[in-house]
Amino acid sequence: MRWFITAAMAAVMALAGPQAVATAEARATVTLDKAVAVTPDFTGLCRDGDTRVWAIISYTHDGGPGLFSIKVERPGEDDRQWSLPTGAAGTFHDRQYLGEQYITSTIEYTVSLLYTDEATGATEQIGAAHRFTVKRTCTEVVVTQLDAPEPFTGECGKDFTLHVRAVVYSPIAQTAKFSFMTMDWNRWSFTSTQTVVFDQPGSKVVYGHIARVPASIVRLSFSEPTDYWDLTTKPLSITCTGAPRAEGIASLSTIHWSGTCVPGASTPLKARLQVPYGSWSYDWVDENGAPLPGNEEQWISATTPKTVEVTGPALSRERAGGGKVGIRFSSSDTIHDLTAWSTTCNAVTPRIDGYEWINEETSCTRSKPGNYRVLGTLRAQPGAVTARYRLVRKTDGQTYSGAWNETAIPAGGTATVSATWSGPLGTRGTWALEVDAPFAGASAAVPYFFSC
């Protein structure tokens, strides 16, 4: 916009005195000279080539002030806009990236020169817009129709399948390889690769069988003539039923145990789990639902319903005891196969009963030793044991140990053991009965005094 001052206006201004005069700020002169595509029209496998669209945009700037920008419009996409630099005059050629074009399409790009009033923010277009088109003809096989299976609720697994149908189109004669793909928990699963042959341009119907698992969508993946995933997708509605259960604790584990209880002794628990499709976590718990000592949460996954044997924490065999044990899956509060267990400790108790003089003569002296027999008892309870034992004598600070012997003792029964010894009159000390099987132990030391 230009401003003109007449003589009359000048006279009025002179009469008004030295006041501020509004003047228009000068604005640069900018013209949009040319906007042409650098990217040529393309025919072929689009996904194997460069899908980026570039253009050369030329403009002339006189270097004056003003906020100018160039805007590129493309149907269905956000506009691209960038500001032009100021302070330099001349003709400029910008190479600009305008986005991606990777399917068969003819897209018209509109390029405009804009001026923005910095005071008001108002924007106006300067001159006429320039237009150009970029055409891509893709020869990939594409999906024109995809039919998902009907909603399904029931037993799931990789061994069960659902039927899926698609219509694929090829613009040229060619051979394509493809597979159906489904997404489950952000993981893609693929069916086996199939081949479809096009003798001429046209459409063909293809079929597949996807695993009956709780997938969310289905689509097609091509590996030939180029490797890409088709954009067409269909949602899936697959609801898997069934709950895991446990059994066999009593038949697979040593539940009621009796034997020698020693420190560190234990026997592991075992069970049989029947699980449907999916991932399941479980714990070994007591009758109150509290995890057993040594329990760690375990996971088991099944791609199809299956039965597996699992091993859990061990039941202590250090001391007598009992309780109940079962398995609880995290998917419910139910305790499966609650089973009673018990530990019975078989033990042997050694005891010194006394000693007796076995001399044929009726007296002894310090120079004439006497013969004695020491007597002891081993008692087994509650079960039968095989005891390994020896008699130990201590006198005058010395220890004299007999040889180890073994004897079988019935449940609740006893065995009598003895040893002979010769000593002079006045000898004193202690006798003890030691065992090291079924566990290590000893009787109380019993004092003796040989007085004949």
Predicted confidence (pLDDT) per residue in 326-359, tens digit:
999 998 999 999 999 998 888 888 998 988 877 6
Q: Give me the phi and psi of 29, to 5 degrees please.
A: -105, 120
Q: Give residue 361's pLDDT.
A: 57
Q: Using CA of residue 245, residue 251, residue 253, residue 257, what is the dihedral sign?
A: positive
Predicted confidence (pLDDT) per residue in 294-309, tens digit:
999 999 999 899 999 9
Predicted confidence (pLDDT) per residue in 118-160, tens digit:
889 999 999 999 999 999 999 999 999 999 999 999 999 888 9
Domain boundaries, the chain: 26-42+49-136, 142-240, 245-345, 347-449
CB-based contacts of 388: which residues, under 8 Å, 6+ apart? 404, 405, 406, 435, 436, 437
142-240 shares the fold of 26-42+49-136: yes
CATH number of 26-42+49-136: 2.60.40.10
How is residue 340 written in tokens?
A: 């009673």
Q: Give me the phi and psi of 227, to 5 degrees please.
A: -95, 110
Average pLDDT over residues 1-9: 33
Is pLDDT at 360 greater than 60 in this prediction? no
Give me the numbers of helices (H) and strands (E) for the chain, helices first please.
2, 36
Q: Give me the phi and psi of 333, to 5 degrees please.
A: -95, 0
245-345 architecture in CATH? Sandwich (2.60)
Q: Give residue 362's pLDDT.
A: 56
Is pLDDT at 2 greater than 70 in this prediction? no
Helix (H) / strand (E) containing 397: none
Stronger pLDDT, 324 or 436, i.e. the higher one: 324
347-449 architecture in CATH? Sandwich (2.60)
Predicted confidence (pLDDT) per residue in 371-386, tens digit:
888 999 998 888 888 8
Residue showing tokens 């006429």: 128
- Label residue 17 by pLDDT band (50, 70, 90): very low
Is pLDDT at 9 greater than 90 in this prediction? no
The Cα-based distances of 188 to 136, 150, 218 in angstroms read 30, 20, 9
For the ranges 161-170, 177-186, 393-402, 409-418, the maximum mean pLDDT occurs at: 161-170
* Residue 358 · residue 378 · CB < 8 Å: no
Single out the residue of 194, 245, 188 nearest to residue 213, CA to CA: 188
- Label residue 11 by pLDDT band (50, 70, 90): very low
- Label residue 422 by pLDDT band (50, 70, 90): confident
Burial status of residue 214 (CB atoms within 10 A of its CB: 0-12, 13-18, 19 or more):
middle
Average pLDDT over residues 415-442: 85
Predicted confidence (pLDDT) per residue in 55-87, tens digit:
999 999 999 999 999 999 999 888 999 999 988
The region of weakest confidence among 227-236, 320-329, 367-376, 397-406 is 367-376
Mean of pLDDT over the chain? 87
The region of weakest confidence among 131-145, 275-289, 393-407, 429-443 is 429-443
Q: Give residue 1's pLDDT.
A: 30
Is pLDDT at 8 greater than 50 in this prediction? no
Q: Give residue 363's pLDDT.
A: 60
Is pLDDT at 24 greater than 70 in this prediction? no
Q: Can you identify the CATH homologous superfamily of domain 142-240?
A: Immunoglobulins (2.60.40.10)
